[in-house]
Chains A and B, each alone.
Chain A
Amino acid sequence: MTTSVSPPDTVPKERTAGHRMPFWVNQRLGLLVLVIALSVLFGVVRPAFLDQRLVLFPLLRDVATLTVVALAQMAALSVGHMNLAVGRMAAFGAMFAGIGYDKLHLPMQAGLLLCLAAGAAIGAVTGWLIARTGVSSFVVTLATDFALLGLVSLMYSALTEDAAFTTRPAGVDALRSYSLADICAGPVCGSPAVPQLAQFTVLAMLGLGFLYGGTRVGRELLLTGANPAAAELSGIPTGRRVLLAHTLSGLLAALAGFMAAAGTGTFRASIGDDFMLPSFLGAVLGGTLLTGGVVSVLGTLLGTALVGVIRKGLDLLGVGLESLNIYLGCILLLALSADRIRTVVSYRKVVRST
């Protein structure tokens, strides 16, 4: 385009972009501080909390798995949808890995690929249904959840004796118990607290970070979530983006299912039963909007880590399961209000300086 309009004669007062909120309003930073502070607190009160092998290793393994679950939810939230079937999709994917190892005697990687393909496929079907029929994701994923619940238990009872695949190819056990301490560069070894399973989480985070932060498709996913009508009229293939978001969600759920199975050592139907709540918690605490259009990959990790640290810490303090949930609820409410308070305080501050 070669035309140019002379800008209005009086250029508006130069306003710098420096008037955005100060850095400490950043939700992720707040979460990071909270996670560290709580870890230190628990470590001081119960030094056992900082035991690398016995406490931190399983804690981080859980966090690694639940982060992937929350990322699966985040993918659906990015287009303003939700995936109530994350847990069952995880079980569905893990089941295929189990079948692969038990019946087809596949090597570990091939089983993993089968698992991911199954997850992506079921996610794609869900997404296609939503995009095609226009029925809300809530209803469709709820239906998927029920359908998979039946299907998965049926398959397990048909294919296995004690409702679990126990054949494990070489490498799966390593994933379960190996940490960075098992990787040495000469005399220097990694920390025994960091499980090797976390490599999948890191890969998923890098992939999603690149997708949402850097690419066209990622931006289009977000705009589809922010305003579907405007997105369609701006030339974004909203139907395909919805399909993609759910495919991704299914794929990540299946990955989480595989990680959970590898972490416990058996592929069984109950994998993913307790995935749904943490999936929303991690994503939303991390700053992903339920209404779509805004996601945070790093925030999802931190949000999940916060929940994990609180759980583990209270557990070590000897808090019983019921009261643990009460405490957990209170701390989460506090964390969310702190975030709100921080935003309001900083808003006032910026306003005063204007």
Chain B
Amino acid sequence: MSAVLLECHDLVKVFPGVRALDGVGLRLTAGSVHALLGENGAGKSTLIKVLTGVHSPDGGTLTWCGEPVRLRSPLEAARTGIGVVHQERNLIPGFSVAENITLQKPPARRGLVDHAAMTEPAVACLTELGVDLDPARPVRELSVAQQQLVEIAKALHTESRVLLLDEPTASLSPEETDRLFGVVRRLAGRGACVVFVSHKLEEVFALCDTVTVLRDGRSVLASAPLAGHSHDDIVSLMVGRAHTAAGMRPRTVDRSAKPVLELDGVATAGGHRDISLAVRPGEIVGLYGLVGAGRSELVKAVLGLDRVTAGEVRVHGSPARIRSPRQALHEFGIGYVTENRKEEGVFLEQPIVRNITVTVWRRLARALGFVPAGEERAVAQDLVDRLGIRITGLGQHAGELSGGNQQKVSLAKWLAADTRLLVIDEPTVGVDVRTKRAFHELIWDLAHDGLPILLISSDLAEMVTLADRIVVMTGHRVRGEVDNDRDYDRMSGRIIRLIHDRDEVRS
């Protein structure tokens, strides 16, 4: 039996109205990859924050290599040898990639930060992850996935004995995920312990050897070997009852209907060339591509946040010049569920009720723009119930919710708005199995009732489950389109080929 690095017993952490951790035990041994699982709001991130000194526990004990420890701050945790990648991004936007990576241990010479010496360790960490990024670029310019990779590189740089990764793969492509797994296995091989939080069970089974499952702040399975459990066992443990996957209502798309949204040879100031696609009523069109393919940027340009330099955007058949998301919403009925919820999706410091009803105030407003609070709350409560958002009250701030529930709030806003076309960007990043299923059913049902949906996702399985047609994009261009026959293996083969054909052409 290998050495126990970090162990905790009966950890309790209470927030007003919620017992986020309610007696959690965890044992992390050297050389293992430990899965930490649970539904949205089960307390995974809270546990990680307690283990890294962000939150101080309200009860329970913590031992490091057999000695009781108290971690009073993240710095103390880092000194002890605990590294972490939190679920939400924590990079300094104005700093360069290298500066961010070396932030916790900046190379110093005579008390001054040595900028030249930063690049080398930063590049080393990035290469280990197989990422090609200019270390001098400011983090602000990076995409979500690239920021995620920088964040992981930053954790690698600390060379911790325990590395806690809170949903590190949420916005990574399959290739990047694979490379990350390679790194994790190497770290474990060197005697570190890596804790891995993910809602993608396939990943968990591929990577981890031990597992802890949290439910409502309690550990229902504590540091057990993963080998003894099946996929379904784990899901039932997380959900608290047997998990059944119901089939979805069949849905057919009328291919002869007039498209609601049509792009014809669109080029943008952001570098897109010759983009054509169409979304018909009741159709889910998937926009698949690897990170950096320019999918979100395309949508933002169409919504007026960047310039469309050539080609034509047509809404309901007539050419449209959309100048702002506001015009898109109020004139064309287009809603955009953003991928980056912390920066662009939710208002963290505002009550949930405002977060949800922001798009419908115009409709609710009476004379003088007065919005009746009662009706506002009714709209919000209805969506909270429909989406099963876990909150302590409508007045609670969105920032206090768990990641998955924040994601639901940002979707709820657009469902409230009754849009005629919905663009959904990475809807289930960081969403647990059951909720993901509920999200999929929701999106499916919306399309079933005739709503056209443009779905952006890096999760191929999600694409194959939902989309009717999948448009494949790389390098700001459309590489092809495949009709989805809902056979995962065949579809993934065809899509990967589309992506790689292009690579061969390039090289």
Contacts and interface: CB of A to CB of B under 8 A. Distances in A.
A217 B359 contact: no
Contacts of B365: 215-216
B16 A21 contact: yes
Most interface-central of A3, A214, A233, A237 (chain B CB within 10 A): A233
B325 A216 contact: no
B93 to A, nearest CB: 12
Interface stretch (B155-163, B261-269, B347-355): B347-355
Interface in A268-298: 293-294
A13 B216 contact: yes
Nearest to A232: B325
- The binding surface of chain A is classed by DSSP as loop
B470 to A, nearest CB: 23
B15 A351 contact: yes
Contact of A236 (B19, B349, B358): B358
Given A8-B434, A216-B361, A237-B326, A20 B395 contact: yes
Contacts of A21: 16
Contacts of B19: 354
A5 B371 contact: no
Interface stretch (B27-35, B96-104, B384-392): B384-392
Interface stretch (A139-147, A175-183, A185-193, A222-230): A222-230
Contact of A216 (B324, B326, B371, B449): B371
Contacts of B392: 15-17, 19
Which range contains the number of B residues in contact with the other chain? 35 or more
Nearest to A229: B344
A323 B290 CA distance: 66
A6 B239 CA distance: 16
B441 A235 contact: no
Most interface-central of B239, B328, B369 (chain A CB within 10 A): B369
Interface residues of A, number: 46
Given A227-B347, A235-B326, A3 B16 contact: no
Nearest to A5: B442
B38 to A, nearest CB: 13
A7 interface: yes
A219 B358 contact: yes
Nearest to A217: B369
A227 B435 CA distance: 27
B369 A216 contact: yes
Nearest to B304: A232
A330 B360 CA distance: 46
A4 B361 contact: no
Contacts of B364: 216
A350 B359 CA distance: 33
A236 B413 CA distance: 13
Interface in B336-383: 336, 338, 343-350, 354, 358-359, 361-362, 364-365, 368-371, 373
Nearest to A238: B326
Interface of A: 1-13, 15-17, 19-21, 210, 214-217, 219-220, 222-223, 226-227, 229-237, 293-294, 347, 350-352, 354
Given A7-B386, A215-B371, A235-B328, 18 more contacts: A3-B445, A5-B438, A8-B435, A9-B434, A15-B391, A214-B373, A215-B365, A219-B358, A223-B358, A227-B348, A231-B358, A233-B325, A235-B329, A235-B330, A235-B358, A235-B359, A350-B16, A351-B58
5 tightest Cβ-Cβ pairs between the two chains A and B: A17-B393, A19-B17, A216-B361, A235-B329, A215-B369
